Structure 1
């Protein structure tokens, strides 16, 4: 029997999230106890990198709707409840912290694929999530 009643899985669509979800399924009492979260950066974070592109082409609302649809597809693929999918907009670590605290999460599961220095050990996002949370964190190594 698992000690974790509410497991939060942080998804990165650009990484091997399947392995992260599988680990969560191993530790959660059942799929109904798993929530998925995907955090998008606000468009104000990425606009400076889109020099010359009209800013009215970027809509956080549209990006959230699109991410939510994709996250719901992922939930369906793994037998998770669509109602337990959440898309937030903001700083990734802050949004995961806030959600975990607000929803009484017991365990946060996320992938790690750091590349250099301290990031080689954990990864910058995983490291940022780990610091300042009161929940347990399971960092799933993305690469062998």
Structure 2
């Protein structure tokens, strides 16, 4: 089996994202793979279903700009070029699948918070990515400071 060549790293840009990025870096260093970073933002209209009688486009744009800046900083530390940095509006699992396919990725690395109970029944982004991916998926168990 040959190593991975192109790794898509799905980041939620939380404090724990560095754990996911570190694991992806380790794999890339061992296999010589290129890293592509992605952050998916769910449209505010998904969360509120259009029930709010106001234009949320400015807020959405601010969220996207902040995410792009955070992703740019992470990418810059690793020397990842801008064309391999993606901030996308949409449903996270669907967009990660699309980006992985379009970019020819052979591994997707995402974080998993290991939630229990009701969160497991409702599903998660990690679960959605795992069950629809056309390539290998590594779910990195992230730990919060209080764990």
Normalised to the residue count of structure 2, the TM-score between the two structures is 0.80
- 1:139 equivalent to 2:126? Answer no
Name 1:38's counterpart in structure 2: 39
1:45-84 → structure 2 map (5 Å cutoff): 45-47=46-48, 51=52, 54-56=54-56, 58-84=58-84
Could you tell me how far 1:84 is from its partner in structure 2?
1.2
Could you tell me how far 1:118 is from its partner in structure 2?
8.2
- Provide Cα deviations, 1:2-58, integer angstroms capped at 9, x if missing partner: 61110000001125011111111111134x700000000112123459857x42564
Q: Return 5+ residue gaps in structure 2 as ranges.
A: none
Normalised to the residue count of structure 1, the TM-score between the two structures is 0.82
Q: For 2:13, what is the secondary structure of its paired residue?
A: coil
Q: Superposition RMSD on alpha carbons, in Å?
A: 2.7
Return structure 1 stretches of 4+ with deviation > 4 angstroms.
48-52
1:1-144 → structure 2 map (5 Å cutoff): 3-28=3-28, 29-30=31-32, 33-47=34-48, 51=52, 54-56=54-56, 58-117=58-117, 124-143=124-143
Q: Distance in 2 between matches of 1:118 and 1:142?
A: 19
Counterparts in 2 of 1:111 and 1:88: CA distance versus 1, 3 Å: same
- How many residues align? The count is 140
Q: Distance in 1 between matches of 2:105 and 2:126?
A: 16
Q: Return 5+ residue gaps in structure 1 as ranges.
A: none
